[in-house]
Amino acid sequence: MSQIIIGVGEYGVSNRPGDEIKTFALGSCVAVIFLDPRTGTLGMLHVALPESEINKTKSLDKPGYFADTGIPALLAEMARLGCSPQGQGMVVKLCGGANIMDTNEIFQIGKCNALSIKKLLWIYEMDVVAEDLGGTFSRSVSVSVETGEIILSSPGRPDWKL
């Protein structure tokens, strides 16, 4: 069994049953999780911002940083393992999108991230089957490639499943 750690703006995929994909400290960031039941492939993306227009250079170096470049990059990586490049048949789940430091709710980056992701998924005709979004606390997310089970954790809270 190996752990694949996903940092901010990164994504990873695996179809090895013993693997686990994990990301830490999702504040306003959102984890996008794709599971292809046909191939047993799991992918996770750690989105920091909704749109790459604000920094085209960064989107070229780290496409996973933005929703609009990260989702196509993750789908392309999963396609290399036999998944549909357009995401057909994928099970989609979302976690994160909290409002942690913006107490006056001026920027609402977490909400903007989640809405941008959902808009893009709608274009791909992909439905979100489960989500754990919002709130005022960060989350870490761990997903088993074998079972697809998602465990979330946050300081001072018991772990929970999505």
Q: Compute the C-alpha angle 96/59/124, nearest 5°.
A: 60
* Contact (Cβ atoms closer than 8 angstroms) between residue 143 and residue 149: yes
* Contact (Cβ atoms closer than 8 angstroms) between residue 134 and residue 110: yes
For residue 106, CA distances in Å to 13, 65, 67, 137 come to 34, 21, 20, 17
Question: Rounded to 10 degrees, what is the CA torsion of 31, 22, 40, 84?
Answer: 40
Q: With H, G, I as helix, E, B as strand and everything else as coil, classify residue 76.
A: helix
Q: Is 112 a catalytic residue?
A: no
What one-character DSSP code corresponds to residue 119?
H
Single-letter code of the amino acid located at 117:
I
The catalytically annotated residue of 29, 83, 95, 112 is 29
Distance CA 64, CA 19 (A): 21
The residues carrying an active-site annotation are 29
